[in-house]
Amino acid sequence: MLDAAERVYYRDGDLGLTVRRLAAEASTTSQTIYTYFGSRDAVIEAMYERALADVDRLLDALERAIGAGRTVEGAHVIVELASRYRRYCLDKPAQFRMLVTASGPDGTDPTKIAGRRRRLLGLVRSAANPGAAEGAEATGTTSPVVLAAVNGFVEAELHDLVDERHMADKLLGELVGALTWR
């Protein structure tokens, strides 16, 4: 049901996610949705919490990848990090939308997603400067510019503005490389 909720959320937005639409998307009844979740807001909260857990798993994997690539030139590690982040975003467009817009259910602490964005920026900074202190805040311009460029690239792909997958892979690597090579 949460997969169906994410599809509706991505396609129709927050206000378009109704119990009736969710039930139709999940091929079930509204009563089933209410039985499992109790309310529309509870569906959104469950979807949001699952998305944050998915983002945390992504960030953990990226941290491990950067740790394994410490001996590699920084720009190459950043290209790989950006590629992994892009694959995640394309596979999970609803989570990508939440991460980029930092939107969540009413009453949710807005710093939850902001913290993930800071962590992602810190990973880009760490990859660019392997000697940086662990957990250091992302400073300078490289991290935000790379993240904005990759997010823009993902938006273009999700809107079918990039024609071929192999071309997209090549272009992303060139884009990130150009932003990170000094």
Q: What's at 65, amino acid-wise?
A: A
pLDDT value of position 32: 95
pLDDT tens track for 128-137: 665 554 444 4
Q: Please state, in angstroms and as integers, the Cα–Cα distance from residue 48 to each residue in 6, 9, 102, 103, following that order.
A: 9, 11, 11, 9
pLDDT tens track for 39-57: 998 998 888 888 888 888 8
What distance in Å separates the CA atoms of residue 44 and residue 25, rounded to the nearest whole number?
15
What distance in Å separates the CA atoms of residue 64 and residue 126, rounded to the nearest whole number?
12
Residues of the chain with CATH 1.10.357.10: 47-180
What mean pLDDT do residues 87-102 have? 78
Whether the CB-CB separation of 104 and 110 falls below 8 Å is answered with yes
Segment (H or E) for 149? helix 142-158
Residues of the chain with CATH 1.10.10: 1-38
CATH architecture under which domain 1-38 falls: Orthogonal Bundle (1.10)
- Class of the CATH domain delimited by 47-180: mainly alpha
Q: What's at 139, amino acid-wise?
A: T
- This prediction's pTM: 0.68
